[in-house]
C-alpha cells in the first residue's frame, strides 16, 4: 500500500516554509509555524517529509539554491557586463524591499544559525555555488579585457564570497541603506 496521496502542492508549501525559515531561522521555526504557513496537517507533513523539519529545511536550501541562484547565474551568463550583475547582486542586500534586504542570505543564515553539521554543509555548498558564479563572471570580464586586476580569479571569488557573508551580517547593525551601499561599493572597487 502506497499511503495517502499528496493533496497539496509541494512546491507552494515548500515556498511558504522557506518564508518561515527565512523570517524565523531554522531553530526558531516551530512545527506549528511551518504547518500553519504551509496549510497542511501533521499527517500530510510527515507523509511528505519523513525526516521531519530537518528534511524540509534541506529541501528548502536546495530549492532556494535552484530558484534564486539560477536567476543570478542566467543574469551573469546573458549579460555583456557580468561584473555589473555582481554589483546588482550585492546592492540587493542594501535594499530593504528585496528578499535579501529583508532577511539576508538564506545560506549564510543557515551556516550561522543551524546547529546540525549536515545542514550547515549543504548551505555552505550553496555558498560555494555562489562563489563559482562570481568566478565565472570575473573570468569573462578578464577575457574581454574589461577587468585588469592581477588578483587571481579564485582569490577574487573567495573575496566576494566572504563579502557576501559579511554584508549579510553587517546589514543587521548598519542602520542606513546609503551606508551599506557605500560599504559594498568600497569592497567592490577590487573589481575595477
Give the mean pLDDT of 5-15: 81
Look over the chain and give the mean of its residue pLDDT values, rounded to a whole number: 88
Q: What is the pLDDT of residue 57?
A: 93
Packing angle of the helix pair 82-94, 153-170 (nearest 10 deg): 20
Give the mean pLDDT of 25-51: 91
> Does residue 65 surpass a pLDDT of 90?
no
CATH class of 10-191: mainly alpha
> Does residue 16 surpass a pLDDT of 50?
yes
**Which residues, in sequence order, are CB contacts of 24 under 8 Å at separation 6+?**
33
Give the mean pLDDT of 16-37: 92
Alpha helices, DSSP H, located in the chain: 10-24, 31-38, 42-48, 52-64, 70-78, 82-94, 99-103, 106-113, 117-143, 153-170, 177-188
- Pairwise CA distance, residues 15 & 63, whole Å: 8
Q: What is the pLDDT of residue 34?
A: 95
Confidence of residue 1 (pLDDT cuts 50, 70, 90): very low
> Does residue 71 surpass a pLDDT of 50?
yes
Using the structure block, give the residue that is written with the C-alpha cell 512545527: 31
- Pairwise CA distance, residues 14 & 173, whole Å: 30
- Rounded to two decimals, the pTM is 0.84
Q: What is the pLDDT of residue 146?
A: 93
Does residue 150 contact residue 93 with C-beta atoms inside 8 Å?
Answer: no
Of 12-16, 53-57, 93-97, minimum mean pLDDT range: 93-97
Cα 127 from chain centre: 8
pLDDT in tens, 107-165: 888 888 888 899 999 999 999 999 999 999 999 999 999 999 999 999 999 999 999 98
> Does residue 51 surpass a pLDDT of 70?
yes
> Does residue 169 surpass a pLDDT of 90?
no
Task: Give the count of beta carbons closer than 10 Å to the beta carbon of residue 100.
Answer: 23
Amino acid at each position: 500500500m502506497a499511503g495517502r496521496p499528496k493533496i497539496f502542492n509541494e512546491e507552494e508549501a515548500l515556498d511558504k516554509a522557506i518564508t518561515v525559515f527565512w523570517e524565523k531561522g531554522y531553530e526558531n521555526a516551530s512545527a506549528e509555524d511551518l504547518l500553519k504557513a504551509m496549510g497542511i496537517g501533521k499527517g500530510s507533513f510527515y507523509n511528505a517529509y519523513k525526516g521531519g523539519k530537518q528534511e524540509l529545511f534541506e529541501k528548502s536550501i536546495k530549492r532556494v539554491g535552484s530558484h534564486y541562484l539560477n536567476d543570478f547565474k542566467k543574469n551573469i551568463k546573458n549579460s555583456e557586463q557580468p561584473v555589473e550583475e555582481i554589483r546588482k547582486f550585492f546592492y540587493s542586500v542594501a535594499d530593504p524591499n528585496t528578499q535579501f534586504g529583508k532577511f539576508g542570505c538564506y545560506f549564510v543564515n543557515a551556516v550561522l544559525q543551524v546547529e546540525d553539521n549536515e545542514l550547515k554543509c549543504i548551505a555552505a555548498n550553496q555558498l560555494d555555488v555562489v562563489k563559482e558564479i562570481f568566478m565565472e563572471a570575473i573570468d569573462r570580464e578578464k577575457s574581454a579585457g574589461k577587468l585588469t586586476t592581477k588578483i587571481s580569479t579564485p582569490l577574487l571569488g573567495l573575496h566576494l564570497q566572504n563579502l557576501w557573508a559579511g554584508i549579510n551580517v553587517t546589514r543587521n547593525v548598519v542602520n542606513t541603506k546609503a551606508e551599506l551601499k557605500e560599504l559594498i561599493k568600497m569592497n567592490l572597487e577590487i573589481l575595477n
